[in-house]
C-alpha cells in the first residue's frame, strides 16, 4: 500500500475562533508603493506535518515564510502587517498556511481578519530599509517576539525581477462551513532585492506555533510594489484529504 | 522520428529497500526490452533529495547497468548536473568517457543545472551561480575529451595541465545536449550548437515557436564541441493500450501521480528570487491552466491511447519539428510492470513502423 505525504493534524483542531468571512464580496484594495519584505526559512519536517491538516501536503523541504507589508497610504490608512505561514501544497500550487498575523493598526487588524481570515493581533510591526540591511520586527505588549535581518542585499534585475509570493491560506468560518481561504494578491514590481536572512529574535510560540522554527536560511527579499488585493477566489476544505480535495474555485 | 525512454526512478512510500530495488530493476528490465524493440535511447535524470519524485541521483551508474545488458540503445545523461557543489567538471568528463567505453560508444551527454531548492539548498549552492557554471562546464568538458593535455583557469574551477582520462569511445566525443525547461533555454542550446532536450511537457502547438527559434538560431551557432548537434528531443508520456479509454484513464493516473510528487518539491523561483530562475518548471506545463476550477485537460501532445491515437500525436510532434520523443512510462510504480511491458511492445509493433528509419537510426546512433 502506497503511503502519501500530507499533514497529520485533525481538521477539527484547525481554525478554532476563526473569523467569519463573506465569500460573496467583490471589493478590492489597491496599495501603491507598498514595501514587501519576505523571508523564508527551512524548518523540520516533523513540525510541518504536525501543523498541517490532512487536506494539505507539506512542501519539501519543509519551510515557512515571514511576510511584512508596509503601506504608507491605503483606503484603510497607513499600516504595517506581518504574517507567518508554513509552506504547503494543495494540488500543485504552493501556498502558505498562516499561523500568526500581526497588524499595526486597528483598521488593518479588522480588515485582514474580516476579509481574509488572518488571525490578526494588534502589535508593533516594523519594517526598515537600512543602508546595509532590511530589518523586520514584531513586538507585542512591549516585548519583541520576532526580529529578522537580511544582509548582503543584491538587486534582482531583468525578467526575474519579481518575487513569487506563495498565497496565504487562513482558516475562516464561511457560509460553506469552516474553510481555508486564500488571499489573492497581484503585484507590479518597481524594485526587488534579495539577500541572506537571519532571525535574531524568534519566539515561535508567540508567533503561533512553538515547533515552527528557523533551521536553515533560504532567502530574504525586499520589494517595492503596487499591490492589488482581490476578493477570495479559492478555498480548501480542511477535512477533505489532500488526494480527494484540493483547492476549489469559488463560484462567481 | 526517434523514440526513447527517460527515467526519474520515482519511488512509492514507504521507502523500503525492497521497494527501492524493485523500482531500479523494473526500469532496467524495461530498458533492456526497449533495446530489443528498437527504441533509440534511454535517458536518466539526475536529481537529489526529491522524495518519491526521483531517486535517480547517480545516472552514470544506472546507465552503466543498462549499458552492459543492452546492445544498441543509446544512453543519455538527462542530465549530468553542471553544478560545482555537486560535481567537478573533470569528474563528469571521466564518467562520461568511461560509460562511453563500457557501452561501445553509445553516450548522449546532456547537461543542465537543476531547478529546485531541494537540490541547490541541499548542496548549499548559490542559485545565481548555476547558469554561469553550466556555461563553463559545457565548454571545458569537450576539450577534456579531445585534448591530450588540458589546463584551465576559469571562474568556477582551475586546473594545471593534466591528461583527463579515459577518452571517450566516440570520436571526437559524445553528442552534447542541454535540458530545456525555461523559456529561452532552447536558444542557449542553439547558440552553443547543442541538442535541445525539451522537458517542459506541453501542448504541441505551444512548443512550435521555440522549435522554430531553435532551428533558426542554431544556423549561426558557435559550437562548444567539435560538431553541431541540432536535434530536438521532447520529453513525453507513453501508455499504449488497445482500449483508448483505458489508456487515457491510466495516463491521467500517471500524470496525476507525477503532479502530486513534483508539486511537493520547492522550485528555485518560489524560494529564491533570481534573474536566472524565472520559469515555473515542469509542473504548470502539464496542465493547461493550474487555476482552472473544472477538471484540467491534459496537454495535447501526450501519448496516451490506442496505437492510432498515439500515431496521430507523434505525427503532430514530427510536423512541429521534433526529432526525438523521449517517454516517461511509469510514475511511482502506479502501473503494474506487466502493463508497462505490454505498452512498450504494442507501441513498438503498431506505432514505430509508421515512422520510417526508426530501427536503422537506432542501430546507427542517435546523431
Using the Cβ of A167 and the Cβ atoms of chain B, whether some distance falls under 8 Å is answered with no
Residue B293: pLDDT above 50? no
Instruction: Chain B: give the shortest CA distance to residue A94, in Å.
Output: 8
Q: Which helix (H) or strand (E) holds B338?
A: helix B337-346
Q: Is B90 helix (H, G, I), strand (E, B) or coil?
A: helix
Q: Which of B49, B274, B292 sits opposite A160 (nearest CB)?
A: B274
User: What percent of chain A stands above pLDDT 90?
Assistant: 83
- What mean pLDDT comes out for the span A157-177? 91
Asked if pLDDT for residue A212 goes beyond 60, the answer is yes
The ranges assigned to domains in chain B are 2-364
In a domain? residue A163: yes
Strands B107-112 and B150-153: unpaired
**With an 8 Å Cβ cutoff, are B273 and A166 in contact?**
no
Cβ–Cβ below 8 Å for A40 and B274: no
Q: What's residue B364's pLDDT? A: 39
- CA end-to-end span of chain B: 12
Contact by Cβ (8 Å): B316, B299: no
- Which chain B residues are Cβ-neighbours of A248 within 8 angstroms? 293
Domain around A170: 16-238
pLDDT, position A156: 95
Subunit contact B121:A218, Cβ cutoff 8 A: yes
For residues B3 and B178, what is the distance between their CA atoms, to the nearest angstrom? 18
Interchain CB distance below 8 Å, A60 and B264? yes
- Residue A156: closest CA among A69, A227, A221: A221
Task: Look up the CATH number of the domain holding residue A35.
Answer: 2.40.400.10
Total domains in the fold of chain A: 1
> Where does the pLDDT of residue B58 fall: very low under 50, low under 70, confident under 90, or very high at 90 and above?
very high
A163 touches chain B (CB under 8 A): yes
Taking the Cβ of residue A157 and every Cβ of chain B, the question of whether any pair is shorter than 8 Å is answered with yes
DSSP H or E stretch at residue B107: strand B107-112
- pLDDT tens per residue, range B172-189: 999 999 999 888 899 999
Q: Determine the residue among B266, B293, B331, B332 to mutate to test chain A binding: the one whose Cβ has the most chain A Cβ atoms within 10 Å.
A: B266
- The reported pLDDT for the residue numbered B282 is 58
CA distance B324 to B321: 9
Q: Residue B58, class by beta-carbon neighbours within 10 Å (0-12 exposed, 13-18 middle, 19+ buried)? A: middle
Distance CA B291, CA B174 (A): 42
Architecture of domain B2-364: Alpha-Beta Barrel (3.20)
Residues of A with CB below 8 A from B276's CB? 160
Residue B294 to residues A57, A84, B156, B367: CA-CA distances in angstroms? 21, 31, 48, 43
A61 Cα to chain B: minimum distance (Å): 6
Integer Cα distance of A216 and A64 in angstroms: 11
Nearest residue on chain A to B183, judged by CA atoms?
Answer: A159
Q: B270: which chain A residues are within 8 Å (Cβ-Cβ)?
A: 94, 164, 166
Cβ of A57 within 8 Å of Cβ of B263? The answer is yes
pLDDT at A241: 82
Alpha helices, DSSP H, located in B219-336: 244-263, 268-271, 282-285, 307-320
Testing the interface with A: which of B54, B273, B291, B294 to mutate, by most A Cβ within 10 A?
B273
Residue of B nearest to A193 (CA): B273
Q: Does the N-terminal peptide bond of residue B286 adopt cis geometry, omega within 30 degrees of 0?
A: no
pLDDT of residue A24: 86
Contacts B12 to A, Cβ<8 Å:
2-3
Continuous segment of H or E residues that includes residue B208: helix B204-218
Rounded distance, CA B17 to CA B25, Å?
Answer: 12
Q: What is the mean pLDDT of chain B?
A: 92
Q: How confident is the model at residue B287 (pLDDT cuts 50, 70, 90)?
A: very low
Cα B238 → chain centroid: 15
Judged by DSSP in three states, B140 sits in helix
Helix, strand, or coil (residue A121): strand
pLDDT digits (tens, 9 = 90+) for B68-109: 999 999 999 999 999 999 999 999 999 999 999 999 999 999
C-alpha cell at B124: 548549499
Residue numbers in A near B271 (CB within 8 A)? 40, 63, 218-219
Testing the interface with A: which of B253, B271, B335 to mutate, by most A Cβ within 10 A?
Answer: B271
* Residue-wise pLDDT tens digits, B316-342: 999 999 999 999 999 999 999 999 999
Burial class (CB in 10 A: 0-12, 13-18, 19+), A77: middle
Q: Does A61 touch chain B (CB under 8 A)?
A: yes
Q: 504595517: which residue's cell?
A: A80
What proportion of chain B, given as a percentage, has pLDDT over 90? 83
Considering only the beta carbons, identify the residue of B117, B263, B265 that sits closest to A91: B263
Asked if A91 is an interface residue toward chain B (Cβ–Cβ < 8 A), one would say: yes
State residue A92's pLDDT score.
Answer: 75
Instruction: Say if strands A143-155 and A184-202 run parallel, antiparallel, or are unpaired.
Output: antiparallel
Q: Do B270 and A166 touch (CB under 8 A)?
A: yes
Is A251 inside any structural domain? no
Mean pLDDT, residues A25-32 taken together: 94
Whether the predicted pLDDT of B366 surpasses 50: no
Answer yes or no: is A212 within a domain.
Answer: yes
For the cut 50, the answer to whether the pLDDT of residue A179 exceeds it is: yes
Count Cβ neighbours within 10 Å for each residue of B90-106 and write b for 16 or more, e otherwise.
Answer: bebbbbbbbbbebbeeb
A221 touches B at CB < 8 Å: yes
Q: Please indicate, yes or no, if residue A9 is contained in any of the structural domains.
A: no
Contact A172, A18 (CB under 8 A): yes
Cβ <8 Å between B275 and A156: yes
Question: Are A162 and B265 a contacting pair at CB < 8 A?
Answer: no
What pLDDT, on the 0 to 100 scale, is given for residue B286? 52
Q: Is residue A5 in a domain?
A: no
Within-domain flag for A8: no
Inter-chain touch B52–A161, beta carbons under 8 Å: no
A92 CB neighbours in chain B (<8 A) are 259, 262-263, 283-284, 287, 290
ipTM above 0.90, yes or no: yes
Amino acid at each position: 500500500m502506497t503511503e502519501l505525504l500530507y499533514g497529520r493534524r485533525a481538521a477539527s483542531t484547525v481554525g478554532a475562533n476563526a473569523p467569519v468571512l463573506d465569500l460573496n464580496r467583490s471589493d478590492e484594495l489597491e496599495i501603491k508603493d507598498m514595501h514587501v519584505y519576505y523571508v523564508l526559512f527551512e524548518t523540520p519536517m516533523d513540525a510541518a506535518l504536525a501543523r498541517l491538516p490532512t487536506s494539505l501536503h507539506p512542501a519539501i523541504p519543509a519551510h515557512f515564510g515571514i511576510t511584512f507589508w508596509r503601506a504608507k497610504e491605503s483606503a484603510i490608512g497607513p499600516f504595517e502587517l506581518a504574517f507567518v505561514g508554513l509552506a504547503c501544497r494543495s494540488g500543485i500550487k504552493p501556498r502558505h498556511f498562516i499561523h500568526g498575523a500581526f497588524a499595526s493598526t486597528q483598521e488593518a487588524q479588522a480588515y485582514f481578519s474580516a476579509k481574509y481570515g488572518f488571525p490578526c493581533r494588534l502589535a508593533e510591526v516594523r519594517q526598515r530599509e537600512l543602508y546595509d540591511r532590511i530589518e523586520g520586527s514584531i513586538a507585542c505588549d512591549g516585548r519583541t517576539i520576532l526580529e529578522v535581518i537580511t544582509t548582503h542585499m543584491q538587486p534582482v534585475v531583468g525578467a526575474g525581477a519579481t518575487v513569487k509570493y506563495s498565497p496565504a491560506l487562513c482558516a475562516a468560518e464561511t457560509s460553506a462551513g469552516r474553510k481555508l481561504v486564500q488571499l489573492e494578491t497581484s503585484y507590479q514590481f518597481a524594485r526587488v532585492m534579495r539577500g541572506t536572512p537571519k532571525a535574531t529574535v524568534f519566539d515561535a510560540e508567540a508567533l503561533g506555533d512553538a515547533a515552527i522554527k528557523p533551521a536553515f536560511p533560504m532567502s530574504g527579499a525586499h520589494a517595492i510594489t503596487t499591490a492589488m488585493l482581490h476578493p477570495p477566489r479559492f478555498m480548501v476544505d480542511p477535512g477533505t484529504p489532500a488526494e480527494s480535495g484540493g483547492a476549489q474555485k469559488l463560484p462567481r | 522520428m526517434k523514440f526513447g525512454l527517460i527515467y526519474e526512478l520515482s519511488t512509492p512510500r514507504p521507502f523500503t529497500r525492497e521497494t527501492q530495488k524493485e523500482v531500479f530493476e523494473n526500469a532496467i528490465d524495461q530498458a533492456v526490452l526497449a533495446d530489443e524493440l528498437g527504441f533509440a535511447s534511454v535517458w536518466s535524470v539526475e536529481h537529489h533529495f526529491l522524495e518519491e519524485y526521483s531517486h535517480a541521483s547517480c545516472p552514470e551508474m544506472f546507465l552503466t547497468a543498462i549499458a552492459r545488458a543492452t546492445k544498441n540503445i543509446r544512453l543519455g545523461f538527462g542530465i549530468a548536473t553542471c553544478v560545482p557543489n555537486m560535481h567537478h567538471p573533470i569528474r563528469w568528463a571521466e564518467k562520461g568517457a568511461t560509460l562511453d567505453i563500457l557501452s561501445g560508444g553509445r553516450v548522449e551527454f546532456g547537461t543542465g543545472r537543476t531547478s529546485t531548492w531541494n537540490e541547490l539548498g541541499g548542496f548549499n549552492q548559490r542559485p545565481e551561480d548555476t547558469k554561469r557554471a553550466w556555461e563553463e562546464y559545457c565548454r571545458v568538458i569537450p576539450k577534456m575529451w579531445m585534448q591530450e593535455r588540458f589546463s584551465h583557469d576559469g571562474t568556477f574551477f582551475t586546473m594545471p595541465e593534466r591528461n583527463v582520462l579515459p577518452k571517450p569511445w566516440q570520436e571526437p566525443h559524445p553528442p552534447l545536449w542541454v535540458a530545456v525547461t525555461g523559456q529561452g533555454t532552447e536558444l542557449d542550446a542553439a547558440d552553443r550548437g547543442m541538442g535541445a532536450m525539451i522537458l517542459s511537457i506541453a501542448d504541441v502547438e505551444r512548443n512550435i515557436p521555440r522549435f522554430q527559434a531553435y532551428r533558426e538560431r542554431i544556423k549561426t551557432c558557435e559550437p562548444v564541441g567539435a560538431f553541431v548537434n541540432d536535434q530536438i528531443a521532447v520529453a513525453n508520456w507513453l501508455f499504449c493500450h488497445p482500449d483508448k479509454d483505458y489508456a487515457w484513464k491510466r495516463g491521467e493516473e500517471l500524470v496525476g501521480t507525477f503532479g502530486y510528487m513534483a508539486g511537493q518539491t520547492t522550485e528555485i523561483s518560489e524560494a529564491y528570487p533570481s534573474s536566472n530562475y524565472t520559469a515555473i518548471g515542469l509542473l504548470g506545463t502539464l496542465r493547461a491552466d493550474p487555476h482552472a476550477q473544472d477538471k484540467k485537460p491534459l496537454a495535447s501532445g501526450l501519448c496516451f491511447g490506442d496505437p492510432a491515437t498515439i500515431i496521430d500525436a507523434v505525427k503532430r510532434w514530427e510536423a512541429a519539428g521534433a526529432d526525438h520523443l523521449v517517454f516517461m512510462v511509469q510514475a511511482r510504480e502506479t502501473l503494474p510492470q506487466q502493463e508497462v511491458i505490454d505498452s512498450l511492445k504494442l507501441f513498438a509493433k503498431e506505432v514505430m513502423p509508421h515512422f520510417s528509419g526508426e530501427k536503422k537510426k537506432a542501430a546507427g546512433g542517435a546523431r
